[in-house]
A and B are shown apart, each in its own frame.
Chain A
Amino acid sequence: KQEVTQIPAALSVPEGENLVLNCSFTDSAIYNLQWFRQDPGKGLTSLLLIQSSQREQTSGRLNASLDKSSGRSTLYIAASQPGDSATYLCAAVDSNYQLIWGAGTKLIIKP
């Protein structure tokens, strides 16, 4: 059974720093992996989707990597800003096209 873990559960960094959020999964047979952002009391916004055949995807200051062999994905945020404060969730898409969710990392960027 696929399990997705995100560590740490919370992270606080000063504005301007580069940071990495981690996501690990137990079964490498994933279809793809998706990173989301959730603001307090709001819905989920898709940030990046990495196909199983890809190693990374980039969008603006965000870069997500995928290493299926080690069961890991990372989300790199460059030059962090207070507006990046949110909860970041990763989800692995299994062979049944279902999203298996991590518990999220709550990120706080201090001005």
Chain B
Amino acid sequence: DAGVIQSPRHEVTEMGQEVTLRCKPISGHDYLFWYRQTMMRGLELLIYFNNNVPIDDSGMPEDRFSAKMPNASFSNLKIQPSEPRDSAVYFCASSTSGGRENYNEQFFGPGTRLTVL
């Protein structure tokens, strides 16, 4: 398996523009997580899905942030309009709820480094 795939790897945009980050989880994983990492706040959970359904979005900072998972192999995170303080590395992770071994172990994608000017 190729692991969790994220695109783009780097995104530079201007304030006010819409940003879309994409994630393809590991095949067969039924949990998908979106995280944000900054120097000041470390890793923060934004939202997670189970079987394509959003379970907890309490970490989404503002209404400017939205995430969808239209099917088991794709999720996107949108920021509209973007602001400089949204600059961070955004990680997607997936996990499986089944099996006795490595239960709930999360596997991370390489991240998208977002810079909002």
Contact = CB atoms under 8 A, between A and B. Distances in A.
B107 interface: yes
A1 interface: no
Contacts, number: 44
A71 to B, nearest CB: 19
A103 B42 contact: yes
Interface of B: 31, 33, 42-43, 45, 48, 56, 91, 93, 102-111, 113
A42 B106 contact: no
A111 B105 CA distance: 33
Chain A interface extent, by class: 20 to 34
A101 B43 contact: yes
A36 B42 CA distance: 14
Contacts of A41: 113
Contacts of B106: 34, 46, 99
Contacts of A98: 45, 48, 56
Interface string A75-111: 0000000000000010101001111010110000000
A44 B104 CA distance: 15
Given A32-B104, A49-B102, A104-B42, A43 B31 contact: no
